[in-house]
Amino acid sequence: MAAPSPLHLQNRPLHVNLVLLLLAFSAVAVVVTATDHIVGANRGWNPNINYSLWSNNQTFFVGDLISFRYQKNTYNVFEVNRTGYENCTMDGLTGNWSSGKDFIPLGAAKTYYFICGNGFCLNGMRVAVTVRPLAANASASAAPRHGVGAADNSAADGVRVRIWEVVAAAAAIVVFYLSG
């Protein structure tokens, strides 16, 4: 005699179980969005570009990425403090990148300051970005995306959550479904 299944699924047809699980995971999966903000959009990280205009037309949230695309061995990226940003110096240096295709996670709600080190900061290669915290309902509080580089943000118009929140929600749905 076989032991009874603790999952209580034997009373439902298999296709019903699969459809319900698929729906549960689909509902949770669409919640995850993070934006990769490409600095300068199609113009990249180069001298004589108004990066203040670009950053003012973006909305950055915790968990987003900022990426710099540039000619390796000519340009680079340094994260500095406000003084370093304003004076094009290495004051408050907290990070440096030089791959030519750098992806930098924006992990805290604060203002980040980035400059190019090889003297190009004085030619406009600097950008400040203010990162907003995630809201309980970020879709209601998110500013509309528009302007330079707006095409890079289309995925960010939905609700945003951290990945661990999605995993926890999916696990809770599965546990609830399988226990009942």
Domains located in the chain, CATH noted: 36-163 (2.60.40.420)
- pLDDT of 34: 87
Indicate the average pLDDT of the chain: 77
- As to burial, measured by CB atoms within 10 angstroms (0-12 exposed, 13-18 middle, 19+ buried), residue 112 is buried
- pLDDT of 134: 87
Q: What is the pLDDT of residues 48-93, one digit of tens each?
A: 999 999 999 999 999 999 999 999 999 999 999 999 999 999 999 9
Interatomic CA distance for residues 59 and 69, integer angstroms: 19
- pLDDT of 33: 75
Helices (H), 74-113: 82-87
Q: Outline where DSSP puts E strands in the chain.
A: 36-38, 60-61, 65-69, 77-80, 95-97, 101-105, 111-115, 126-132
Spell out, as residue ranges, where the chain has pLDDT lower than 50.
29-31, 137-161
